[in-house]
Chain A
Amino acid sequence: MAFSLDTVIYMDNNATTRIAPEVLDAMMPYLSDYYGNPSSMHTFGGQVGEAVTQARQSVADLLGADPGEIVFTSCGTESDSTAIFSALRTYPEKNHVVTTRVEHPAVKNLCDNLETLTGRKYHISRLPVAEDGTLDIERYKECLTDETAIVSVMWANNETGVLFPVEEMAKIAKERGILFHTDAVQAVGKIPINLKDSTIDMLSLSGHKLHAPKGIGVLYVRKGTPFVPFLNGGHQEKGRRGGTENVASIIGLGKACELAAAMMDEENTRVRALRDKLEKGLLSSVPKAILNGHPEKRLPNTANISFEYVEGEAILLMMNQHNICASSGSACTSGSLEPSHVLRAMGVPFTAAHGSIRFSLSVYNTEEEVDFILEKMPPIIARLRELSPFWEED
């Protein structure tokens, strides 16, 4: 079954997003006519370098940063690895890392495997979360030691959309002289960010989460932050990341950041209203449906709802029959036979964790789509519950 753009109802924007048509238009010349190398001495290459400079400015503007603080990478994962390894190499005498139990695998698996990757033993503090997915700041403060090399805490959770108070946490780290990194892959473009007002040292973002193409990321490195490159090589990115620039994607990301800045209000008003309508509608029309995550401290686009006593993959496949795209934290979709580590860290019971569905919206979603989902979901859940040995009609 092939889905076309016209018929699909795409509510999986935390997984990846559609490339904005304006972004694609901006990129195209750099995939055809303007193929020069930005590092070249001739004008043919140099004009490409100017376009990259412009894109860097656009990214910096969205973040409230200085263009010199923007390092282009290949993806969010590379940015995360670069940040954490940079801190560990900067402070070889320190052996402690603070993170959370609900990080994206890009940070979580890196921290879990630090000993194998570095040949050194690290002490990792993984901050627990409350039932609503929020962090306890007091516990965080107590966790910091003189041995702490870096704190890496996500800005917004990819599964629940729950926001962490990273600006406040960065401030506390700063007072202790500890580097602070945030994986802001889900936050950038969805909530206003102004790094000038914060003390966050490093921040990761990923292009394809905000309507730019896949394969482009950014690591923001605050001016004056000690930095050791992850990829060594040419003098690109002022020696902070070797490798010829992914020019077209950089141009695309620049455009995407301009669009995100222009649509920030819409994201936080219209998209939020759509999300709220979808969420309230599902919670009221489907019995035993539970919202996962704090109702307010959340991204405007994400709704994570558990339908008790049914399994997520089965729900997704039934939704798929109506061309509705979303994702699930169930074991069968995680590929690991165990349900999402985020929901487990929140203490979501197994009866609900396996039946969790994440809807993540974008500015391209419409009210008609929300209405369509609200019409289709209750019978899907009811049908699967008829099949479930655990479901007893009250």
Chain B
Amino acid sequence: MWEYTDKVQEHFTNPKNVGEIKNASGTGNVGSIACGDALRLTIQVDENDIITDAKFKTFGCASAIASSSMLTEMLKGMKLEDAKNLTNDDIAQALGGLPKEKMHCSVMGREALEAAIADYTGVMLPMAQGEVVCECFGVTDLEIIRAIKENSLASVEEITNFTKAGGGCGKCEGRLAALLVESTDKQSSPATAQKKKKRMTALEKIKKIEEVIEREIKPTLKKDDGDIQLIDVDGDFVTVSLRGTCAGCYSSQTTLKEYVEKKLREQVLDTLIVEEDK
């Protein structure tokens, strides 16, 4: 069970400013139902660039709801310029702190605010232009680098706590560790990080696996009157079915592991595990 402060409990039990402003000056939508939390923030800005009203709708846990509620309370009456400088830490502090695993809830509040301001000013968000590092939660390198710098993050676990990156399949952990080193090294900048080789997306991976099977593996198996078909790719697990003489062959396991898996590891990703669908 999480240890929530009284403030968090209070804003969860009796959240303030729930709803949507009709004809809002700016709307920020962040997160998704797949991620497990999402926030729609609407703000009303007057002619003097003061936020006169803010409302939220949040799908998520207690700390996500409390962070959203607190954010809207802080925003009301705030100058737009000041709002631009609001950080996730400001939200967390106002709540008397959040459990470290829940810091991403405050980050979500800040991102929604930025999105709402960008919607109002028409200036595109720089963070969204980064390269996606965590596919599970769609977190970009720029978002991660900023979280590292602003919150002095020192481990991959902390990055996950603040941005959720790495909290799904965990395959981006290596990349996160690299970003950590790059960001804490004063010499480097986000620009150099971007030059690094792009990570394969799930789609690219499947395509590549298909390609290798079609181009190399199938022809080889066919020489022995065998055949192979790709059934499914789930993370690192590649399910294939062996056909023809391969199917009943006593050495099919050897074929699978020694040949198919080896080939795919060499040419696609060295963590792949090939399994047979029988």
Residues in chain A within 8 A of chain B (CB atoms): 95-96, 121, 123-125, 142-143, 145, 147, 309-314, 317, 321, 330-332, 335-339, 350-351, 354, 386-390
Is the Cβ of B167 less than 8 Å from the Cβ of A387? no
Is B40 in contact with chain A by the CB < 8 A criterion? yes
Cα-based distance from A354 to B33 in the complex (angstroms): 8
Whether A311 contacts B278 in the complex (CB less than 8 A), given A321-B13, A388-B57, comes out as no
Cβ–Cβ < 8 Å partners of B60 in chain A: 311, 314, 332
Whether A387 contacts B36 in the complex (CB less than 8 A), given A125-B275, A147-B253, A313-B61, comes out as no
8 nearest interchain CB pairs?
Answer: A337-B167, A313-B61, A389-B57, A332-B61, A331-B36, A389-B40, A142-B278, A350-B34
Residues of B within 8 Å of A, CB-based: how many? 34
Cα-based distance from A335 to B167 in the complex (angstroms): 9
Is B38 in contact with chain A by the CB < 8 A criterion? yes
Return the chain B residue nearest A1 by Cβ. Answer: B9
Of A314, A330, A338, A387, the contact of B57 (CB 8 Å cutoff): A387
Cα-based distance from A313 to B167 in the complex (angstroms): 17
Is the Cβ of B34 less than 8 Å from the Cβ of A389? no
Is the Cβ of B61 less than 8 Å from the Cβ of A387? no
Cβ–Cβ < 8 Å partners of B62 in chain A: 313-314, 317
Cβ–Cβ < 8 Å partners of B2 in chain A: 313
- List 11 additional A-B contacts (Cβ < 8 Å) besides A312-B61, A314-B12, A337-B137: A123-B257, A310-B59, A311-B59, A313-B62, A317-B61, A338-B36, A350-B36, A354-B33, A387-B59, A389-B40, A389-B58
Cβ–Cβ < 8 Å partners of B275 in chain A: 123-125
- Binary interface encoding of chain B residues 130-160 relative to chain A, with 1 for a CB under 8 A from any of its CBs, else 0: 0000001100000000000000000000001
- Binary interface encoding of chain B residues 37-61 relative to chain A, with 1 for a CB under 8 A from any of its CBs, else 0: 1111000000000000000011111
Cβ–Cβ < 8 Å partners of A339 in chain B: 36
Is the Cβ of A390 less than 8 Å from the Cβ of B34? no
Complex A-B: 9 CB contacts under 8 Å: A123-B276, A125-B275, A125-B278, A311-B60, A311-B64, A330-B61, A337-B164, A389-B39, A390-B38
Of B34, B36, B57, B253, the contact of A311 (CB 8 Å cutoff): B36
Is the Cβ of B36 less than 8 Å from the Cβ of A337? yes
Cβ–Cβ < 8 Å partners of B15 in chain A: 387
Return the chain A residue nearest B101 by Cβ. Answer: A335
Return the chain A residue nearest B57 by Cβ. Answer: A389
Distance (whole angstroms) from the CB of A184 to the closest CB of chain B = 26
Is B29 in contact with chain A by the CB < 8 A criterion? yes
Q: State the majority secondary structure of interface residues on B.
A: mixed
Is the Cβ of A317 less than 8 Å from the Cβ of B38? no
Whether A388 contacts B168 in the complex (CB less than 8 A), given A142-B278, A339-B36, A354-B36, comes out as no
Cα-based distance from A95 to B258 in the complex (angstroms): 14
Cβ–Cβ < 8 Å partners of B39 in chain A: 389
Distance (whole angstroms) from the CB of B1 to the closest CB of chain A = 9
Distance (whole angstroms) from the CB of A110 to the closest CB of chain B = 16
Of B18, B57, B160, the contact of A337 (CB 8 Å cutoff): B160
Is B65 in contact with chain A by the CB < 8 A criterion? yes
Cβ–Cβ < 8 Å partners of B37 in chain A: 311, 332
Of B18, B33, B61, B164, the contact of A350 (CB 8 Å cutoff): B33
Return the chain A residue nearest B252 by Cβ. Answer: A145
Cβ–Cβ < 8 Å partners of B253 in chain A: 95-96, 123, 145, 147
Cβ–Cβ < 8 Å partners of B137 in chain A: 337
Is the Cβ of B257 less than 8 Å from the Cβ of A317? no
Interface centre among B57, B61, B160 (most CB of A within 10 A): B61
Cβ–Cβ < 8 Å partners of A332 in chain B: 36-37, 60-61
Cα-based distance from A388 to B19 in the complex (angstroms): 9
Cα-based distance from A386 to B20 in the complex (angstroms): 11
Distance (whole angstroms) from the CB of B270 to the closest CB of chain A = 14
Cβ–Cβ < 8 Å partners of B57 in chain A: 387-389
Is the Cβ of A338 less than 8 Å from the Cβ of B136? yes
Is the Cβ of B61 less than 8 Å from the Cβ of A338? no
Distance (whole angstroms) from the CB of A88 to the closest CB of chain B = 16
Cα-based distance from A388 to B31 in the complex (angstroms): 12
Is the Cβ of B18 less than 8 Å from the Cβ of A317? no
Cα-based distance from A389 to B59 in the complex (angstroms): 6
Interface centre among B13, B59, B65 (most CB of A within 10 A): B59
Distance (whole angstroms) from the CB of A346 to the closest CB of chain B = 15
Is the Cβ of B13 less than 8 Å from the Cβ of A388? no
Is the Cβ of A389 less than 8 Å from the Cβ of B29? yes
Cα-based distance from A311 to B160 in the complex (angstroms): 20
Cα-based distance from A27 to B193 in the complex (angstroms): 62
Cα-based distance from A123 to B237 in the complex (angstroms): 11
Cβ–Cβ < 8 Å partners of A330 in chain B: 36, 61
